[in-house]
Amino acid sequence: AWNLTAKTIMSVDEWVSLFDEAGYTGDYYWFIP
**CA 18 – CA 2 distance, rounded (Å):** 13
Average of per-residue pLDDT values in the chain: 67
What does the angle CA 6 – CA 29 – CA 15 come to, to the nearest 5 degrees? 40
CA atoms within 13 A on the CB side of 14: 7
Tell me the residue range of the domain where 17 lies.
Answer: 1-33
Please give the model's pTM, rounded to 2 decimal places.
Answer: 0.34
Sign (positive/negative) of CA torsion 26, 19, 4, 9?
negative
Work out the average pLDDT over 2-21: 69
**CA 9 – CA 23 distance, rounded (Å):** 20
Quick one: pLDDT at residue 30? Answer: 62
How many structural domains compose the chain? 1
